[in-house]
Amino acid sequence: MNDTLLLILVVTIFILAIFVGLEVIAKVPATLHTPLMSATNAIHGVIVVGGFLILARAEALPMYIIGTLAVLFGTLNVVGGYVVTDRMLEMFKTKKRSITK
């Protein structure tokens, strides 16, 4: 398979994955966002590891770019996901009431 056909195939799969992801996320009810966020944090952790593996075996500039972007975006998603999940879970904690005289 030549490089042009491989690139077209990879880009097509990537675009289809974006559309499928948007459709799946749009159908999630609000009550399931916190558990879904926790699950995606684990998935993005795997993406970060994959990005490091790409960077470890990179031989050309495009591989360095893809690996760096995978690590960067995966890390942003993991950190952002934990921040959002923590804030959402804070809403469910009971607040201590102070007794004033």
Give the model confidence (pLDDT) of 37-88 as tens digits: 777 777 888 888 888 988 898 888 988 898 898 899 889 888 887 887 788 7
Give the model confidence (pLDDT) of 81-96 as tens digits: 788 778 877 877 777 7
Give residue 1's pLDDT: 66
Give residue 94's pLDDT: 77
Q: What is the pTM of this model?
A: 0.56
DSSP string, 13-35: HHHHHHHHHHHHHHT--GGGHHH
Nearest residue to 47 (alpha-carbon basis) of 68, 24, 22? 68
